[in-house]
Chain A
Amino acid sequence: QSVLTQPPSVSGAPGQRVTISCTGSSSNIGAGSDVHWYQQLPGTAPKLLIYRNSNRPSGVPDRFSGSKSGTSASLAITGLQAEDEADYYCQSYDISLSGSWVFGGGTKLTVL
């Protein structure tokens, strides 16, 4: 059971918009901890996609965006492309668990 809750799967057709939710609690997201998102393509290591809720590292297309409100966060992907098919993980910091990063269980994005 992951500390952060994500839907196991989402899907969309090429060109469409999808969102992935990430729900935490008062000891992580609700405590003001930032939310970060990672993309994991099949057979590869995770890659930072969004940091500090809504910031994109250099090289990440602006089709990817993040937001945070209360105890939840969301990742939005617009203009879906086949190469976006991957697992997506949210991550935050839990103030009740010393030093600990907490992750969502991951969401499998399928491009139809």
Chain B
Amino acid sequence: VHLLESGGGLVQPGGSLRLSCAASGFTFRNYDMSWVRQAPGKGLEWVSVVSGSGGSTYYADSVRGRFTISRDNSKNTLYLQMNSLRAEDTAVYYCANRDGYNYAPDWGQGTLVTVSS
């Protein structure tokens, strides 16, 4: 299993960014996929999850209405569209697959998002 995030970088407050996570080594469409973030020096925070079909999505209160999770099963790729970014969104963003028993067997290496003027 390999998960590779990309798209992170420096963005100004109020700006937008789209993260991608390329998956391989497993049947992507059969797995729900999540984003988890980690602010510098802080713990893990769940951000969002999308079902295997893409038909169901859930968000943490801290990002609901600003972030949109999606996936393209034909490309084995997960996305996170982040709008109206705030300083407190600064973090390393990890993608992870989700087992049916609600844990993450596999994680990507993460991509850093820095929101600063």
| A residues at B contact (CB < 8 Å) | 2, 33-34, 36, 38, 44-48, 51-52, 57, 89, 91-93, 98-106
Contact = CB atoms under 8 A, between A and B. Distances in A.
- Chain B interface residue number, banded: 20 to 34
Nearest to A36: B103
Given A51-B101, A52-B103, A91-B103, 10 more contacts: A34-B102, A36-B104, A38-B44, A45-B108, A46-B104, A47-B107, A48-B104, A51-B105, A101-B46, A102-B46
Given A89-B44, A99-B58, A101-B46, A52 B101 contact: yes
A104 B43 contact: yes
A34 B49 CA distance: 18
B102 A101 contact: yes
B49 A99 contact: yes
B99 A2 contact: no
Contacts of A44: 109
Contact of B58 (A46, A100, A102): A100
